[in-house]
Each structure stands twice: as structure tokens, then as C-alpha cells.
A and B are shown apart, each in its own frame.
Chain A
Amino acid sequence: AQKITQTQPGMFVQEKEAVTLDCTYDTSDPSYGLFWYKQPSSGEMIFLIYQGSYDQQNATEGRYSLNFQKARKSANLVISASQLGDSAMYFCAMREGVYTGTASKLTFGTGTRLQVTL
């Protein structure tokens, strides 16, 4: 089974509108972290936002927020007031394991390509 599922291969949004990028995950580990990364066409991976499995509140970082629904195992990224520079590939990723001590890897989804239009 896929650990991270991103069902939207591509999304379009108009400038200044909000957009939600979906991510569902599968784990039996009670301790995990969920991350979103942005990959522009230039190829680098940029960390955007993190949500921990024990966090009570949804994470926010500027125009990025995470709609975390633990029972549904979803961690959707919301980008508010989209800008042309937001056009990129967006990856959801998960780290599993205990909260300390392990060098646990990131497992990535297949990504969603977001295109912001005028």
C-alpha cells in the first residue's frame, strides 16, 4: 500500500485565490510527522510546513496552512492568496518512528503540479 497518496496530478488556480492540495497517508505508527515541500521548475526542494501527529492545532506558515484530519489520515496543504511564483510541484512526505533518536527517512508522494494563472 502507498504510504503517501496525492491524487491530484495537476491543479490550476487563479492568482489571489486559495487552493487546497490533497494528501492522505497510511501508517500504523502513532508517532509521525507530515511535511510539504515545493519543487520549482529549477529543481530544488524547499521545505514549506510541518505537522506532527501529536500536534493539537493545524500548522500555519505565512500563506501556507495544513488541514490535518488525523482520523481521516489526511494532511492537505492550503495555499491562500496564490501568487504566480507558487507555480511548482508540491510534494507531501512523511517521517515515521519515535520522536527521538532515529534517522528516519522521508517517504514522498507522487506530487501535485500547481499552475497559477492570471
Chain B
Amino acid sequence: EPEVTQTPSHQVTQMGQEVILRCVPISNHLYFYWYRQILGQKVEFLVSFYNNEISEKSEIFDDQFSVERPDGSNFTLKIRSTKLEDSAMYFCASTLRGAVNQPQHFGDGTRLSIL
């Protein structure tokens, strides 16, 4: 069964450094998302992306964050200058259509640790 893949599985970065998290969504999916989950807390929406532009972003997704789909397969989340509070599990998700009745399929996540 096709799946969303995320790399790396674990990223350790010094505070203030840039980090890029990578995702390969399911190949025929059109809508892409990033979520994060701080340890022990609920999953929070960061951003949605469709047709090569951001559809919606949360208040968490400030100027330090950006997303890109540099080619036909990858979908990346960049954090320009990481802070300690960026430490979390970051999930990429994709869905075929944006409608409410479509489940979003999640990758296994990237655990980001900021030192």
C-alpha cells in the first residue's frame, strides 16, 4: 500500500540553525500538510499546501517556517532559525482531495530535537 515517507526519522540540531524536514507524499495525492506534536501533547496543524501554494497556516507557522514542493515528489518544511520550543515530532500528511470526507495519510514523523 502506498505510504507517506519522511526523512530523517530523527534530527538533532543546535539552536539557531536551519533545518529542513523532507516528505514524499503518496504519488497521486494533491493536498499536503504539516503537523507537529510536542512530546505528550496533541497534534497541532501547521500548514496546508495545494496547487503549489499555501492554503492555510496556523499561528504557529510564523516567518521562521516555510514550505516548498521543489519537484514533483518532495514536500519540505524549513525552519530558518530553530528555537528550543521547536523540539517536537513533525508529521507530514497527504490526501487525494481536500474534501472533509478524505482521510489524511500520515508519515511516520521526524523527531526534531533542538539543543
Enumerate chain A interface residues (CB-CB to B < 8 A).
31-33, 35, 37, 42-47, 50, 52-53, 91, 93, 95-111
Contact at B33–A52, with CB atoms within 8 Å? no
0/1 interface trace, chain B 99-115, chain A, CB 8 Å (1 if under): 11111111111010000
Known: A31-B100, A52-B100, A97-B100. A103 touches B48 (CB 8 A): yes
Least Cβ–Cβ distance between B31 and chain A, in angstroms: 5
A106 to B36, CA, bound (A): 12
Chain B residue total in the interface (Cβ 8 A)? 31
Contact at A47–B104, with CB atoms within 8 Å? yes
Enumerate chain B interface residues (CB-CB to A < 8 A).
31, 33, 35, 41-45, 48-50, 55-56, 58, 89, 91, 93, 97-109, 111
Looking across the interface, which residue of chain B has its beta carbon closest to that of A4? B42
Contact at B108–A100, with CB atoms within 8 Å? no
Most chain A Cβ neighbours within 10 Å, of B41, B44, B98: B98
Contact at A45–B48, with CB atoms within 8 Å? no
Q: A43's contact among B102, B103, B108, by CB below 8 Å, is which?
A: B108
Which residues of the partner chain B approach A99 to less than 8 Å between Cβ atoms?
A: 99-101
Contact at A106–B35, with CB atoms within 8 Å? yes
Contact at B48–A91, with CB atoms within 8 Å? no
Which residues of the partner chain A approach B42 to less than 8 Å between Cβ atoms?
A: 91, 108-111
A14 to B73, CA, bound (A): 44
Which residues of the partner chain B approach A43 to less than 8 Å between Cβ atoms?
A: 89, 108-109, 111
Most chain B Cβ neighbours within 10 Å, of A35, A42, A44, A45: A45
A107 to B100, CA, bound (A): 12
Contact at A102–B99, with CB atoms within 8 Å? yes
Contact at A45–B100, with CB atoms within 8 Å? no
Contact at A102–B55, with CB atoms within 8 Å? yes
Most chain B Cβ neighbours within 10 Å, of A31, A52, A103, A107: A103
Which residues of the partner chain B approach A50 to less than 8 Å between Cβ atoms?
A: 101, 103
